[in-house]
Structure 1
Amino acid sequence: MAQVQLYVYDLSNGLAKQLSAQLTGRQIDGIWHTSIVVFGKEVFYGQGINITLPGKSHHGQPLQVVDLGETALDQETWQEYLDEMRDHYTADKYHLLDFNCNSFTNDCAGFLTGGSIPSFVKDLPTDFLSTPFGAALRPTIDDMYRRPVPGAPAVAPPPPNQPIAASLLQAVAAQAQASSSNAPPRPAAPPLAATESLAGSLHPSTNSASFRALLRSHRAVVAFFTDFQGCAPCRMITPLFEQLAAEKGARAATGGRGAAFTKIDIRVGAGGTLATEWSVRATPTFMFFLDGTKIAEVRGANAGELRTQIDLLLFQAYPPHPHASLSLTAVKAISLAPILFTQVPALDAVFAKFVSFIDATPSPSTTVPAKELLRTQVVPYLKGRFAPVDTAPGSKASPLPSATPMLLTSWASATTTLLGALSTESLFPLVDMWRLAALDPAAATWLAATPGGGPIGVLARIARDALAQSTQDKGTRNYVLTTLRLLANAFKSAPLARVLLSGSDGATLGTLVPALLHSDAAVRTAAASLAFNAAASVQRARVATGSGLGGVNVNNGNADDADAAMAADEDWQVELTSALVEALEREGGEDVVHRLVAALGCLLRFMPEDGQVNALVEVLGAHAVVLGKLKTESVQKKDVRKLVEEVASLCPS
């Protein structure tokens, strides 16, 4: 057993203690530098990892010595750990606030003893940046470590009263990164690209002890298990992870209401062992912890899901809404990804069926150009994108074709011609083609930029009018069913979904509401899927903007105006809520009940307490309606019953 000590130095040589209250309004006793002393050597991080005899570094004698306990590791194991860390704690990564000597000693303390360094050292950057003065000085500090970018604007000079402090910090930084007098000089390396965009509150974790210390010291933790060297998706998602750490980290978020972000490279230190401990089988893997307990996981470089889970974690850690603090395991487990209808039919057969309808019209010659466009351009495009021919083993697959504006414009014109020539019950093959096209990002972007959603809006109006006539014959049923699936697929594109939901003619809701009460189970299932997609989009918008959540916006201004408008538009939310409650009262199919309850849960989870939706569910007696589903035979699955119970608890009773 060997004793482990922490040497604590004040890089300001007493000036922080004298001037901090005057400059920051808070007493800061020192700008702490620490080193680890074990096996008769003092080890610290500045210009890389330096080793010297205890008390013989350029910092002189320590101001304080903290006993960290004993280590059961031998000196050879400790040396192997340091050798691995040299590639991680390099001079170019050093940052006075975010990645410094104290990051290193905390990592080492975890490796050696399973503990951590004292909180007064770890919390110093947070304490400093939480003051108005610290926040104002942050750009000056960042500029000390940012590589100049040609053509970038110059950093503004420090505000009044800051030049003295800036000069002090420059001196502190120079002393912090100076090499030990006993260490051989090492050439300065150029800054890594990843360090040009600094990420506040980004902590390294190279072993189980340092990771668990991080979990103990922060309410919310986002862990990124990565293999930066061998995993291309890891390298792709890393800049976004660092950006999110800067936006939503505990040091960057207002009032410290943020998460601690940590990267665990499975090739660095004991990172591989740590990954095994948490059953990480592939990289990248993201885990989300609340009060030390894992509450969610995302596998793969899914940027949208990563953002969503971070936002939800922060809402649970710092609940701005009463519902955020409830234990709603089933509601929280609802994926907000839209329900999509992606099945690809035999396109040649679909087209042949449609041609038979066209040829049966009184004047088929008027539709010849439209039919020819479908045959020569639309069907080949759909087959190429959604039913590509398998390539030979070892050959490189061709990129999937995307719809061009020229094709979409011509197709929209042909659709108008066919709508005027055919009866409603004959149009469902054409709607099915648009259903697939809505899954193509290029087509969705074009449709979102077209007034009313272009052809989709027109097709929705036809379905609405057909339902309004209370005709539920087979032909109308097929058309309505296919249109509902098309509208559900439109929610793969948030801009297109907003266009369809905010349409002045109300065609989307006009189709959805009566379809929820349709006599055909398949129609009701598609309608319930569309209702869920609409409700989930509301929850995502509320999370993004803080609407109805006590005004807290953890996105730090990154939500757009469209999200704000979506969250604030309660008119159609009220209509949808009313339709969901009525449909639930009548519905007997478990799958449909599941989707309806999930949709209602999304609308109610973060609803404004003084809003129209909250008042409506009380008037409708939604609590009794939802809870009543447990008394019927329509809900048997355990997970669905749990969801029903939790959504009922969100309804005012």
Structure 2
Amino acid sequence: MASVKLYIYDLSNGLAKQLSAQLTGRQIDGIWHTSIVVYGKEVFYGQGISTTLPGKSHHGQPLQVVDLGETALDEETWEEYLTDMRVHYTADKYHLLDFNCNSFTNDCAGFLTGNSIPSFVKDLPTDFLSTPFGAALRPTIDAMYRRPTPGAPAVAPPPPNQPVAASLLQAVASQAQASPSNSPASPLTATESLAGSLHPCTNSASFHALLRTHRVVVAFFTDPQECPPCRVIAPLFDQLAAEKGIRAATGGRGAAFTKIDLRVGAGQILGLEWGISTTPTFMFFLDGTKIAELKGVDAGELKAQVDLLLFQAYPPHPHSSLSLPAAEALSLEPILFTQVPALDTVLSKFVSFIDAAPSSPTTSQAKEVLRTQVVPYLKARFAAKTSSLPSAVPSLLTSWAAATTALVGALPTDTLFPLVDMWRLAALDLAAAAWLASAPAAGPIGVLVRTARDVLAQPAQAQDKGKRNYLLTVLRLLANAFQTPALGRALLCGGDGATLGTLVPALLHVDAAVRTAAASLAFNAAAGVQRARLATGAGLGGVNERSTKADDADAALATDEEWQIELVSALVEALEREEGEDVVHRLVAALACLLRFMPVDGQVQGLLEVLGARATVQGKLQTTLVQKKEVRMLVEEVASLCPS
């Protein structure tokens, strides 16, 4: 018996950990490269398959070593396997996302031990591509690994944040295929860009691991060397993988496609295990069970079988058959409050409030932070007419947060709204938003929101103009937080529930401007739920958690009905009382997002029946309040989503 280790390296050299939250809205701790260590040798894939002494490759020392278990195979069998694999894992087939070092180590792990490499490593490309930044960067990465053709356009540039994206991409790409001799080489162009959802399997263990970890699997048993029909059907299979695969489908609601070459590795043994007597043969698996098989070249039947398999796995949500043009036309982009006030005037007004309060070293220091750091940053970021927009740095935000805590504790609430308005603008800066998302409850937003909740707990007659302004500005700050999904999720699902505790009573506030801001925040939260449901497949029918590749926070936002129940209840009550058409529009738009793909057997369905929500919504059509055609259509559609 010989021990098998997995060495894990970070191809980004720490850049991913530093920049991922800012670029993608989620934390990615590394762009992982892996190698297999067995029989005193480290084996990895980049410029073909390479072998070194453990820890002596050009990647240096590993960041992490994972024990994959022991192998009963002898070293000679292992070397024979590598010889076969060298035909399969060639330098020209390398692709940073689709066919890389981790594809190789996962295959080897299955052959040696029957285990898989850790999911945080093998699922990283899917997690990355599920972010808007990753999706935007995909064409650039594909172009790097595609052989140029005459007349073809140049390599696509990185998306916005180009200098950051370019440095991260270049660091990863150069490390990924650097030569073992410590002299980095440019990634080799491939003969083609491999389909994103193709998973190589060269042995029984890796194939069974694929069946365990993916709900839907389409397997193509092939012998391209001796089977002309295999070569004929292969391009269609690649196309289906790109169109119907996990990365091409919405948030993991697709199939994992695998090609099994009977001449590579232990492919022939795997073919015998599944009774393969002719090639090409296609097998279709649902939840690990084979449900269909297709032999020979039949393009139409192959497409039909894949579609049928996906339909069985993910039957459409009942609401998907409804005609909802107004709901479908809703933009899920957040409603933002972007107006930039005269910052010098805001500062002057707020300084007068600070000077009127009892003096202390902490308030004096806080005033200095605002004057010398915060307002200059806000003016450069939001007021200056320049193409260069400086982002907030952690040192500034840390000082500003400390100043905020000190001032909230020292000043009357009705004087704090200029301070909140500064944070409202900062929430539009992705760097500041990422920093705020790291500790939403303990950070400055948490302090400000809890104070707003205390204001709402007071009788309406006790809420003077200053407190009303404070509350209004906090709601606008929270609405702006949803420009960065990670911050919006953190405020809604994490912490102490202060955000929801502020939103719910604000929807019923006596002041129309406060209700408008609250309805805007409610829509942003509800739109975030719909985006998360589309990203994870939650509530859309038949989604198995193990097939979902989206972020855990997305899944929590999509499926946590506890706070959604509270929000739906508040929206229905607010809609019943509301007399402003613009606010009604935002309320029903929020309900449309929450109800359109709500879990079929969830608690929200029962709540709507108890509340008599359909009658409440329809009641708005029986008054002269709703005049705009698009609003009336949306009200009618939301009523149809409520149980009768």
- Work out whether the TM-score is over 0.5: yes
Q: SS state of the match for residue 403, structure 1?
A: coil
1:440 corresponds to which residue?
Answer: 429
Structure 1 residue 328 corresponds to structure 2 residue 324: yes
1:103 corresponds to which residue?
Answer: none
1:146 corresponds to which residue?
Answer: 93
2:8 corresponds to which residue?
Answer: none
1:638 offset after TM fit, Å?
0.7
2-side partners of 1:257 and 1:420: how far apart? 49
1:592 corresponds to which residue?
Answer: 583
Counterpart among 411, 420, 426 of residue 415 in structure 2 = 426
1-side partners of 2:141 and 2:500: how far apart? 48
Counterpart among 404, 408, 411 of residue 415 in structure 1 = 404
1:568 offset after TM fit, Å?
1.9
- Contact 1:257–1:318 at 8 Å: present in 2 too? no
CA offsets 1:473-528 (integer angstroms, 9 cap, x no match): 21111000000000111111222112211244221111111111111111111000
1:565 corresponds to which residue?
Answer: 556
CA offsets 1:319-369 (integer angstroms, 9 cap, x no match): 521112211111111111111111110000000110111111133665211
Worse-superposed segment, 552-561 or 346-355: 552-561
1:558 offset after TM fit, Å?
2.8
- Contact 1:545–1:553 at 8 Å: present in 2 too? no
- Contact 1:544–1:554 at 8 Å: present in 2 too? no
1:144 offset after TM fit, Å?
9.8
Counterpart among 597, 611, 625 of residue 602 in structure 2 = 611
For CA contacts below 8 A with separation 6 or more, give which structure has more relative contact order. 2
1:641 offset after TM fit, Å?
0.8
CA offsets 1:554-595 (integer angstroms, 9 cap, x no match): 996430111111122111100000000000001111111111
Structure 1 residue 449 corresponds to structure 2 residue 438: yes
1:198 offset after TM fit, Å?
8.5
- Contact 1:498–1:566 at 8 Å: present in 2 too? yes
1:173 corresponds to which residue?
Answer: none
1:182 corresponds to which residue?
Answer: none
2-side partners of 1:355 and 1:158: how far apart? 64
Change (3 A) 1:227 1:611: farther
1:536 offset after TM fit, Å?
0.9
Worse-superposed segment, 465-474 or 620-629: 465-474
1:438 offset after TM fit, Å?
0.9
- Contact 2:314–2:543 at 8 Å: present in 1 too? no
Q: SS state of the match for residue 93, structure 2?
A: coil
Counterpart among 490, 503, 508 of residue 517 in structure 1 = 508
1-side partners of 2:402 and 2:326: how far apart? 46
1:383 offset after TM fit, Å?
0.4
1:652 corresponds to which residue?
Answer: 643
Q: SS state of the match for residue 334, structure 2?
A: coil
Q: SS state of the match for residue 492, structure 1?
A: coil
Change (3 A) 1:500 1:249: farther
Change (3 A) 1:334 1:368: same
- Contact 2:434–2:487 at 8 Å: present in 1 too? yes
Change (3 A) 1:375 1:251: same
1:252 offset after TM fit, Å?
4.8
1-side partners of 2:537 and 2:577: how far apart? 34
1-side partners of 2:103 and 2:248: how far apart? 29
2:122 corresponds to which residue?
Answer: none
CA offsets 1:199-250 (integer angstroms, 9 cap, x no match): 9xxxx9xxxxxxxxxxxxxxxxxxxxx994598579999x9xx899759974
1:545 offset after TM fit, Å?
1.4
Counterpart among 355, 359, 363 of residue 359 in structure 2 = 363
Residue 464 of structure 1 aligns with an amino acid whose one-letter code is: R
1:622 offset after TM fit, Å?
0.8
1-side partners of 2:412 and 2:109: how far apart? 71
2:346 corresponds to which residue?
Answer: 350
Structure 1 residue 374 corresponds to structure 2 residue 370: yes
Give the TM-score, by structure 2 length.
0.56
1:341 corresponds to which residue?
Answer: 337
1:549 corresponds to which residue?
Answer: 540
* Higher gyration radius (CA): 1
Give % identity.
65
Structure 1 residue 251 corresponds to structure 2 residue 241: yes
2-side partners of 1:325 and 1:499: how far apart? 33
Structure 1 unaligned residues grouped into runs of 5+: 1-138, 161-191, 205-225, 261-313, 391-396
Structure 1 residue 499 corresponds to structure 2 residue 495: no
CA offsets 1:87-136 (integer angstroms, 9 cap, x no match): xxxxxxxxxxxxxxxxxxxxxxxxxxxxxxxxxxxxxxxxxxxxxxxxxx
Residue 521 of structure 1 aligns with an amino acid whose one-letter code is: A
Residue 336 of structure 2 aligns with an amino acid whose one-letter code is: L
1:450 offset after TM fit, Å?
2.0
What CA RMSD, in Å, does the superposition of the two structures yield over aligned residues? Answer: 4.1
Give the TM-score, by structure 1 length.
0.55
CA offsets 1:245-295 (integer angstroms, 9 cap, x no match): 7599743576999779xxxxxxxxxxxxxxxxxxxxxxxxxxxxxxxxxxx
- Contact 2:197–2:246 at 8 Å: present in 1 too? no
Change (3 A) 1:565 1:366: closer
Summarize the alignment of residues 622-637 of structure 1 with structure 2, pairs less than 5 Å apart.
Answer: 622-637=613-628
CA offsets 1:120-170 (integer angstroms, 9 cap, x no match): xxxxxxxxxxxxxxxxxxx9989696258899468448999xxxxxxxxxx
Q: SS state of the match for residue 579, structure 1?
A: helix
Counterpart among 470, 476, 483 of residue 485 in structure 1 = 476
Tell me the number of residue pairs that the alignment of Structure 1 and Structure 2 aligns. 399
Counterpart among 449, 452, 455 of residue 463 in structure 1 = 452
Q: SS state of the match for residue 469, structure 1?
A: coil
2-side partners of 1:491 and 1:516: how far apart? 18
